[in-house]
Amino acid sequence: MSVSRITIEEFREVICEEFGEDLTYEQAEKILTNCVGYFGLLAKLRHHNKEAEYESFNGANKK
């Protein structure tokens, strides 16, 4: 999943204002892309676990 140019520029501004760090466009893009990937993975894991819980619950109720 890609991050929009506007989001990357806004992220750069926030990091500069809040932390005094001047990130290059490429650095900001890499950080945001990694964050999006990380949280995407967490969402998939949560979804997988919820499906397993649901199947476990339904299987227990069928007996």
DSSP string of the chain?
Answer: ----HHHHHHHHHHHHHHH-----HHHHHHHHHHHHHHHHHHHHHHHHHHHHHHHHHHHHHT-
Domains of the chain: which residue ranges? 5-61
Q: What is the phi/psi pair of residue 20, to 5°? A: 70, 20
Instruction: Give residue 45's pLDDT.
Output: 94
10-residue averages of pLDDT along the chain (63 residues): 93 98 98 96 91 73 58
Closest CA to 3 of 28, 39, 38: 28
Instruction: Give residue 10's pLDDT.
Output: 98
Q: What is the phi/psi pair of residue 2, to 5°? A: -95, 160
